[in-house]
Amino acid sequence: MAYSKELLDHYENPKNVGSMDKESEEVGTGLVGAPACGDVMKLQIKVNKKGVIEDAKFKTFGCGSAIASSSLITEWVKGKNLDEAHSIKNTEIANHLALPPVKIHCSILAEDAIKAAIEDYKKKNRKNR
């Protein structure tokens, strides 16, 4: 399969690999996918008092497209507020990386992951109020 330069770059030099303390109140964690399906994405965001995403980290088990999709979305969400991050569409990721049709699900997974992370952050902070 021929992949775009963008995709290969994110695969070879992925941005924002790592983990944050999932117990921290500032951190929202999204874990989506399933090992049996061949991809699992863990995406974490650190949100400041103004509701802006200060930092994002990921770890992904999956094909090159899945790794690249998660790397890209962590880049994109940094500096955005939660609503802006929530509105990122998988098609934007797919277009940017020129994902082949059979790999579109990787971009959907990335969208799901950020939404799950935002949800987790909101849930935590609702409880604490």
Window 74-103: contact mask with other proteins (x via CB under 8 A): ----------------------------x-
Question: DSSP letter string over 74-97?
Answer: HHHHTT-BHHHHHT--HHHHHHHH
Residue 27 near residue 20 (C-beta atoms within 8 A): yes
* Catalytic residue from among 56, 106, 110, 117: 106
Three-state secondary structure call for residue 42: strand
Which residue lies nearer to other proteins by CB, 32 or 85? 32
Q: Does 42 bind other proteins (CB under 8 A)?
A: yes
The single residue among 10, 28, 39, 107 that binds other proteins, judged by CB under 8 A, is 39
Active site residue 63: no
- Residue 21 has φ and ψ, to the nearest 5°, of -70, 110
Residues that bind other proteins (CB under 8 A): 3, 11, 14, 17, 19, 31-42, 59-64, 66-67, 102, 105, 109
Residues identified as active-site: 37, 106
